[in-house]
Amino acid sequence: MSKILSQLNDVQRLAVQQIEGAQMVIAGAGSGKTRVLTYKIAYMIEQGIDPFNILSLTFTNKAAREMKERIYTIIDSSEARNVWMGTFHSVFSRILRAEGEVLGYPSNFTIYDTDDSKRLLKAIIKEMQLDDKKYTPGIVANRISSAKSNLITAAQYYASSNIFTADQNAQRPEIREIYKTYAARCFKSSAMDFDDLLLNTYILFQKFPEILYKYQEKFKYILVDEYQDTNHAQYRILRSLADRYQNLTVVGDDAQSIYAFRGANIRNILNFNRDYPEAKTIKLEQNYRSTKNIVGAANSLIANNKGQIPKKIWTDNAEGDKIRIFIATSDNHEGKIVAQSIFDNKITHHYKNRHFAILYRTNAQSRAMEEALRHAGIPYRIYGGISFYGRKEIKDILAYFRLTINPKDDEAFKRIINYPKRGIGNTSLQKMIIAANNKNLSLWETAKQIHRLNIPLHSTAKRKISDFVTMMESFQAQLHQLDAFALAELILKQSTIQHTLQADKTIEGIGRMDNVEELLNAIQEFVEKDKEDEEQAKFDGEEYAGTLDDFMKDVALMTDADKQDDGDSDKVSLMTVHAAKGLEFPVVYVVGLEENLFPSFMSLNSRPELEEERRLFYVALTRAMQKAYISYAEMRYKWGELKFSEPSRFLDEIDEKYLEFENRPTPPSPKISRTAGTAPLNKAKPASRLQRNQSFFKGNKRLTKISDVSPAATPPSNLKNLKTGMRVKHGKFGTGKVIAIEGAPPNTKAKVQFPAVGTKTLLLRFAKLEILE
DNA sequence: GTATTATCTAAGTCT
DNA sequence: TAGATAATAC
- CB of A500 within 7 Å of some strand B atom: no
Give dist(CA A650, CA A648) in Å, integer.
5
- What is the predicted pLDDT for the residue at A589? 97
Q: Of the ranges A68-77, A293-302, A632-641, which is most confident?
A: A293-302
Pick out residues 358-397 of chain A having their CB under 7 A from any atom of nucleic acid strand B: 361-364, 384
Give the residue among A48, A12, A63 at the shortest CA–CA distance from A579. A63
Whether the CA torsion A549, A550, A556, A561 is positive or negative: it is negative
Q: Is the pLDDT of residue A322 over 90?
A: yes
Q: Is the pLDDT of residue A192 over 70?
A: yes
Report CA(A423)–C1'(B2) in Å, whole number: 9
Report CA(A557)–C1'(B14) in Å, whole number: 11
- CB of A60 within 7 Å of some strand B atom: yes
Report CA(A356)–C1'(C8) in Å, whole number: 50
Facing residues of A382 across strands?
A574
- CB of A87 within 7 Å of some strand B atom: yes
**Better-predicted residue by pLDDT, A289 or A605:** A289
Give the pLDDT confidence of A619-659 residue by residue, as tens digits: 999 999 999 999 999 988 877 778 888 899 999 999 999 99
Q: Of the ranges A75-79, A444-448, A708-712, which is most confident?
A: A444-448
Q: Across residues A378-395, what is the average pLDDT?
A: 82
Mean pLDDT of chain A: 83
Report CA(A410)–C1'(B4) in Å, whole number: 29
Share of chain A above pLDDT 70, in %: 82
Q: Is the pLDDT of residue A22 over 60?
A: yes
Q: Is the pLDDT of residue A701 over 50?
A: no
Give the residue among A193, A96, A90 at the shortest CA–CA distance from A141. A193
- CB of A160 within 7 Å of some strand B atom: no
- What is the predicted pLDDT for the residue at A565? 59
Nucleotide nearest to A464 (CA to C1'): B1
Report CA(A264)–C1'(C6) in Å, whole number: 39
Q: Across residues A575-602, what is the average pLDDT?
A: 93
For residue A434, the number of C-alpha atoms closer than 13 Å in the C-beta half-sphere is: 12
Q: Which residue is nearest to nucleotide B9 (CA to C1')?
A: A639
- What is the predicted pLDDT for the residue at A81? 87
- CB of A639 within 7 Å of some strand B atom: yes
- What is the predicted pLDDT for the residue at A487? 96
Share of chain A above pLDDT 90, in %: 53
Question: Any alpha helices (H) in A151-193, and if so which ranges?
Answer: 154-159, 161-169, 175-188
Q: How confident is the model at residue A713 (pLDDT cuts 50, 70, 90)?
A: very low
Give the pLDDT confidence of A401-411 residue by residue, as tens digits: 999 999 999 99
Angle, in degrees to the nearest 10, between helices A194-207 and A88-99: 50
Show which positions of strand C are touched by protein (CB under 7 A): 1-2, 4-5
**Better-predicted residue by pLDDT, A78 or A92:** A92
Report CA(A419)–C1'(B1) in Å, whole number: 14
Angle, in degrees to the nearest 10, between helices A607-621 and A292-302: 180
Give dist(CA A440, CA A423) in Å, integer.
25
Nucleotide nearest to A639 (CA to C1'): B11
Torsion of CA A598, A604, A608, A611, to 10 degrees: 30
Pick out residues 506-535 of chain A having their CB under 7 A from any atom of nucleic acid strand B: none
Give the other-Cβ count within 10 Å of A518's Cβ: 14
CB of A5 closer than 8 Å to CB of A47: no
What is the value of pTM for the model shown?
0.82
Strand C footprint at Cβ < 7 Å? A 122, 392, 637, 639-640, 765-766, 768
Rounded to a whole number, what is the distance in angstroms from the first to the last CA of chain A?
85
Least confident of A29-33, A203-207, A394-398, A699-703: A699-703
Three-class DSSP category at A728: strand
Report CA(A467)–C1'(C8) in Å, whole number: 31
Active site residues per annotation of A: 33-34, 225-226, 256, 623
Pick out residues 674-703 of chain A having their CB under 7 A from any atom of nucleic acid strand B: none
Give the other-Cβ count within 10 Å of A219's Cβ: 22
Give dist(CA A404, CA A386) in Å, integer.
25
Pick out residues 576-605 of chain A having their CB under 7 A from any atom of nucleic acid strand B: 576, 578-579, 600, 602-603
The pairing of strands A572-576 and A356-360 is: parallel
Nucleotide nearest to A641 (CA to C1'): C1
- What is the predicted pLDDT for the residue at A693? 31
Nucleotide nearest to A367 (CA to C1'): C1
Least confident of A272-276, A292-296, A417-421, A636-640: A636-640
- What is the predicted pLDDT for the residue at A560? 66
Give the pLDDT confidence of A516-557 residue by residue, as tens digits: 888 898 899 888 887 776 655 554 545 557 899 999 988 888
Report CA(A729)–C1'(C2) in Å, whole number: 23
Give the pLDDT confidence of A275-284 residue by residue, as tens digits: 999 999 999 9
Q: Across residues A114-138, what is the average pLDDT?
A: 85
Q: Is the pLDDT of residue A14 over 70?
A: yes
Q: Which residue is nearest to nucleotide C1 (CA to C1')?
A: A640
- What is the predicted pLDDT for the residue at A136? 86
- CB of A459 within 7 Å of some strand B atom: no
Give dist(CA A198, CA A525) in Å, integer.
30
Residue type, A675: T
Facing residues of A56 across strands?
A85, A223
**Better-predicted residue by pLDDT, A42 or A510:** A42
Q: Which residue is nearest to nucleotide B12 (CA to C1')?
A: A362
- What is the predicted pLDDT for the residue at A97? 96
**Better-predicted residue by pLDDT, A670 or A457:** A457
CB of A204 closer than 8 Å to CB of A147: no
Q: Which residue is nearest to nucleotide B13 (CA to C1')?
A: A578
Pick out residues 237-266 of chain A having their CB under 7 A from any atom of nucleic acid strand B: 258-259, 261-262
Report CA(A362)–C1'(B11) in Å, whole number: 9
- CB of A180 within 7 Å of some strand B atom: no
Q: Across residues A577-588, what is the average pLDDT?
A: 93
Give the pLDDT confidence of A329-385 residue by residue, as tens digits: 988 899 999 999 999 999 999 999 999 999 999 988 988 898 899 889 999 988 876
The number of helices, as runs of H, and strands, as runs of E, in chain A is 30, 23
Q: Is the pLDDT of residue A477 over 90?
A: yes
Report CA(A397)–C1'(B15) in Å, whole number: 22
- CB of A146 within 7 Å of some strand B atom: no
Give the residue among A578, A574, A599 at the shortest CA–CA distance from A588. A574
- What is the predicted pLDDT for the residue at A685? 33
CB of A227 closer than 8 Å to CB of A268: yes
Nucleotide nearest to A259 (CA to C1'): B13
Give the pLDDT confidence of A132-185 residue by residue, as tens digits: 778 888 889 989 999 999 999 999 999 999 999 999 888 889 999 999 999 999
**Better-predicted residue by pLDDT, A188 or A425:** A188
Give the pLDDT confidence of A724-767 residue by residue, as tens digits: 667 666 544 556 666 666 554 444 556 666 555 455 555 454 45
Show which positions of strand B are touched by protein (CB under 7 A): 1-3, 7-15
- What is the predicted pLDDT for the residue at A12? 95
Q: Is the pLDDT of residue A769 over 70?
A: no
Three-class DSSP category at A588: strand
Report CA(A481)–C1'(B9) in Å, whole number: 47
